[in-house]
Amino acid sequence: MPSAAFFRRLRYLLNRRRFDRELAGDMEFHREMAARAGSGHFGNTLRLREEAREAWGWTWIDRLSQDLRYAARMLRRSPGFTVAAVLMLALGIGVNVAAFGFFDLVFLRPMPVRDPDTLLRFHRRALQSYAFALPHPEMAFFRENSRTLSAVLALTPTRLAVEGEEKQLMANFVTANFFSELGATARLGRLLDPARDEAADAEPVVVLNPGFWQRHFGADPLVIGKTIRLNDKLATIVGVASSEFSGLSLDNPALWLPITQQPYFSNGSRLLTDFSANGSVRMWGRLRPGFAPRAAEAELRSLAAELRKQYPTGVWKNESLPSDPGGYAKSLLIADRSGTGTEGRDDLFPVFALLTTLGLLILAVACGNLGSLLLARGVAREREIAIRVAIGAGRGRLIRQLFTESLLMALLGCTAGLAVGYVVLRSLMLFTETPAWLNPAPDWRVMVFAIGMGFAAAILFGLTPALQAARPRHRASIVRQFLVGAQVAASCVLLIVAGLLGRALTHAVSANPGFEYQQVISIDLGLARHGYSPARAQAYLDTLQSRLRVLPGVESVSLALSPPLGTRSEGAGLSIDGRALNVQINRVDPQFFQTMKIPLLRGRNLMRGDSHAMVISESLARRAWPGQDPLGKKFTMGEDYTIVGIAGSARLVKLEDSDSVEVYFLIGTADLPAMSVLVRTSAPPEDVARSVASTTKALDPGTFPEVQLLKAGFRRKLRGAEASALTVSLLGVIAHLLACLGIVGVVAYAVSQRTKEIGIRMALGAQPGRILSLVLRQFSGPVIAGLLVGVGAAAGLSSLLRGQLYGISNLDPITYLAAIAMFIVTVAVAALLPARRALRVDPLRALRYE
């Protein structure tokens, strides 16, 4: 029976000492008897015993613990080296742990909700359209009729004016089953309850986010039952959610309210009944046990077709409802995209690809550095190793021993790296105001990843030096040169990428973005939320514009569906010559170009009644019709449009993406309730903003317009770019510093190794220049090769960054030249500093040495 044998074997492991003693006794007795019989010839007792013990199959444990003890002693004996090595590894592994931790949070780790795997997020798709939110009545129809979904959840985010708060706060209107379906518990009071809160006569209630509760109410435990004024309407506070509750959005809502009460807070809202895209909800479904996501999709598709018979304009032709796994943070990043044509490309992929590559590069530099250090140490330990060989250590055993030291070092580095990764991720998340439930603490996946990284690192930096040291006669400087080259290449890539990001940032701040934002105020009216019909919206907008125009300090007023530097965008995918273009659609009035100071380069402006005319940006004209005149050409986007004018390129929404191009249509009647107003001021916009706000509010006191400066939006946009530029620069500088330190180390080593030779040459009258070139020549090759490889790799890698560079080319020559120059100077300094020691060699001393 194998298990019985296994247990016997285990018994041997656990009682190793006793069994070993008994074996020794047996053999000693054997020996005595043999000596008595006169046939006294024995081998090495220890060796024989070891061989016998091998039958138990546990010798490897003994050897390993021996190696580990020895390795620990060696590391303790040179604390300086150990600390330096562990720090280097902690950095290299930590960066990767942070990057993987982010990936883990977004893609791999289920959100803290009940049964995350049966949760599906749905979006709409038809031949020419896509949207990540659905009209409420459509969602309600699915909820009534679906048999594959046990529950349907919906959410719509809105900003609400809260009494006592200066700014409007984010609120999520949710279906009342939201909390119970997600398995949430209340910290205080109760959460929403379908039976009570969705009834027709239900009183208005609100659940508080714990952060808001602490900030606004000072964590008052008696808050339950109190009322709070939201958009000037009273609501009763029924509970506070627990702080672990994630909800289903990344915008950290302060409040949760039943979606059925949305019209109460938003005067005249038709969210619950309207099919128009102006009021739509994000939808999730809970899969009934035994059904696959595909079954749910098929069912919803046929339900949509059925609903279309009743509402032919509300539901799209051939509408399907694809699903994504809803229990992962990735599904929340999508928010509310919508548009025509194919869906825009995924912005996340390049970011992750870049992060991964940068992380691995840093690890490569750290490992290369450590490898050189170990090589040099291997030389210093030659004596020790020679002695061990002399007393019978086999080569394999020696390599194993040295590699165990590296593994132990990697283990320490891995532990420290986990801490570094946590700190990095934590501080980045604090900086970018990520919701608190996204917990950066490493889970088992991150731990396994860190251990894997440590092991890979140990192989990278430890194996070659171990092989070298165990076979000292063939010590090749090739390995050292390769390590130098690899470090140089990796740090070169990091420097260039950091340079590009930094330059993109300065460019974004200083360069003309194609429009003028410093003196513009944008007003989000939210008329659609208040159920304005297009005709009422038209009247309202006409009055508002005429009132705003006469305010002191106002220069011009215009309308736009997607205000510049805002979060709302409408896109269309378009592929020209195989390159995907991000076409940003904006619907504007004729005053828009003047208000935003976007020059009309050719053709004419949009005019009233231009229902099939469009103005395109110069960047689109250049790409779509190179060398031709696009004026008068037809362009198909859902319908045919005629190009009447070409405006200057102005990346109003996607400031950072040089592949984004713009098209402008005249406002359609249906869009009127969703319009934002843009006001250009001649006086400083801060001064005018107050009168603009009060004028707007006075026109319909039931609305809650949000007034913002475009400047503020611009600053918000840049904050992310600042964070990434700063992080990458920091990493680049650290990696480069490491690489330079590595060069200092190997050059110093080369000098010390050749002291005698240098002494002889100096005694024979060699010039200082000759001596320097003698020392440095062997490194010029690897450095130049590393530089070339690094520049090439940076050129390739940076194409991932195209969309984030604010119009700087990813092959920007200034950045490359500056980075290379900085690189050459620092590497030269790093090499010359230790090389100078060669010039100070005293020939007499050097010759007497040894």
Partner 1 sequence: MPKIEMPSGALVLLILRVLRSGALHGYAIAQRIHVLSSEVLHVEEGALYPALQRILLKGWVTSEWGISETNRKVRFYRLTPAGRKQLEAELSDYGRVHEAIQSVLRTA
Given the rule CB under 8 A, which residues bind partner 1? 4-5, 8-9, 12, 22-23, 25-27, 29-34, 36-37, 42-43, 48-49, 51-57
Q: Which is nearer to partner 1, 30 or 167 (CB)?
A: 30
Shortest spacing between CB 783 and partner 1, in angstroms:
56
Q: Which is nearer to partner 1, 4 or 391 (CB)?
A: 4
What are the tokens at 198? 């969705």
Shortest spacing between CB 733 and partner 1, in angstroms:
59
CA pair distance 166, 794, nearest whole angstrom: 47
CA pair distance 202, 607, nearest whole angstrom: 49
Q: Which is nearer to partner 1, 42 or 849 (CB)?
A: 42
Q: Are residues 294 and 232 in contact, defined by beta-carbon separation less than 8 angstroms?
A: no
- Pick the closest to residue 832 from 771, 756, 783, 776 (CA basis): 776
Q: Are residues 574 and 344 in contact, defined by beta-carbon separation less than 8 angstroms?
A: no
- Helix 395-431 with 444-458: angle, nearest 10 deg: 140
Shortest spacing between CB 26 and partner 1, in angstroms:
5
648 φ, ψ (degrees, to nearest 5) = -60, 150
Shortest spacing between CB 45 and partner 1, in angstroms:
9
Shortest spacing between CB 52 and partner 1, in angstroms:
4
CA 331 to each of CA 116, 159, 328: distance values in angstroms, whole numbers, following the listed order: 12, 22, 6
* Helix locations, 551-684, DSSP H: 592-595, 618-624
Q: Are residues 665 and 614 in contact, defined by beta-carbon separation less than 8 angstroms?
A: yes
Shortest spacing between CB 398 and partner 1, in angstroms:
24
Shortest spacing between CB 445 and partner 1, in angstroms:
39
Shortest spacing between CB 375 and partner 1, in angstroms:
40
Q: Which is nearer to partner 1, 31 or 377 (CB)?
A: 31
Q: Which is nearer to partner 1, 23 or 389 (CB)?
A: 23
Q: Which is nearer to partner 1, 47 or 167 (CB)?
A: 47
Q: Which is nearer to partner 1, 7 or 107 (CB)?
A: 7
Q: Are residues 278 and 528 in contact, defined by beta-carbon separation less than 8 angstroms?
A: yes
Q: Which is nearer to partner 1, 50 or 542 (CB)?
A: 50
- Pick the closest to residue 605 from 573, 542, 647, 545 (CA basis): 647
Shortest spacing between CB 324 and partner 1, in angstroms:
55
CA pair distance 152, 633, nearest whole angstrom: 46
Q: Which is nearer to partner 1, 27 or 272 (CB)?
A: 27
Q: Which is nearer to partner 1, 13 or 829 (CB)?
A: 13
The three state secondary structure string of 326-378 is: CCECHHHHCCCCEEECCCCCCCHHHHHHHHHHHHHHHHHHHHHHHHHHHHHHH
Which of helix, strand or coil describes residue 745?
A: helix
| 686: exposed, middle or buried (Cβ count in 10 Å: 0-12, 13-18, 19+) | exposed
| 666: exposed, middle or buried (Cβ count in 10 Å: 0-12, 13-18, 19+) | buried
CA pair distance 731, 736, nearest whole angstrom: 8
CA angle 245, 247, 250 (to 5 degrees): 110
CA 408 to each of CA 321, 401, 402, 412, 703: distance values in angstroms, whole numbers, following the listed order: 53, 11, 10, 6, 66
Q: Which is nearer to partner 1, 29 or 849 (CB)?
A: 29
Q: Are residues 503 and 649 in contact, defined by beta-carbon separation less than 8 angstroms?
A: no
Element (H, E) at 582: strand 579-588
State the amino acid at position 20 in one-letter form.
D
Q: Which is nearer to partner 1, 23 or 551 (CB)?
A: 23
Residues 6+ positions from 478 with CB-CB distance below 8 Å:
none
CA pair distance 620, 584, nearest whole angstrom: 10
Q: Which is nearer to partner 1, 57 or 796 (CB)?
A: 57
CA pair distance 711, 517, nearest whole angstrom: 6
Q: Which is nearer to partner 1, 49 or 697 (CB)?
A: 49
| Strand 634-637 relative to strand 600-603, pairing | unpaired
Residues 6+ positions from 797 with CB-CB distance below 8 Å:
354, 357, 493, 497
Shortest spacing between CB 51 and partner 1, in angstroms:
5
- Pick the closest to residue 470 from 407, 404, 385 (CA basis): 385
* Helix locations, 432-476, DSSP H: 444-458, 464-470
Q: Which is nearer to partner 1, 26 or 629 (CB)?
A: 26
Q: Which is nearer to partner 1, 22 or 347 (CB)?
A: 22
Residue with tokens 């907008």: 541
- Pick the closest to residue 409 from 90, 32, 755, 736 (CA basis): 90
Shortest spacing between CB 400 and partner 1, in angstroms:
22
What are the tokens at 551? 């305010």
Q: Which is nearer to partner 1, 48 or 389 (CB)?
A: 48
Q: Are residues 82 and 408 in contact, defined by beta-carbon separation less than 8 angstroms?
A: no
Shortest spacing between CB 40 and partner 1, in angstroms:
11
- Pick the closest to residue 587 from 531, 640, 633, 652 (CA basis): 652
State the amino acid at position 177 in one-letter form.
N
CA pair distance 831, 825, nearest whole angstrom: 10
Q: Which is nearer to partner 1, 33 or 817 (CB)?
A: 33
CA pair distance 16, 22, nearest whole angstrom: 10
Shortest spacing between CB 27 and partner 1, in angstroms:
6
Shortest spacing between CB 28 and partner 1, in angstroms:
9
Shortest spacing between CB 60 and partner 1, in angstroms:
16
Shortest spacing between CB 25 and partner 1, in angstroms:
7
What are the tokens at 452? 């894997």
Shortest spacing between CB 467 and partner 1, in angstroms:
31
Shortest spacing between CB 4 and partner 1, in angstroms:
6
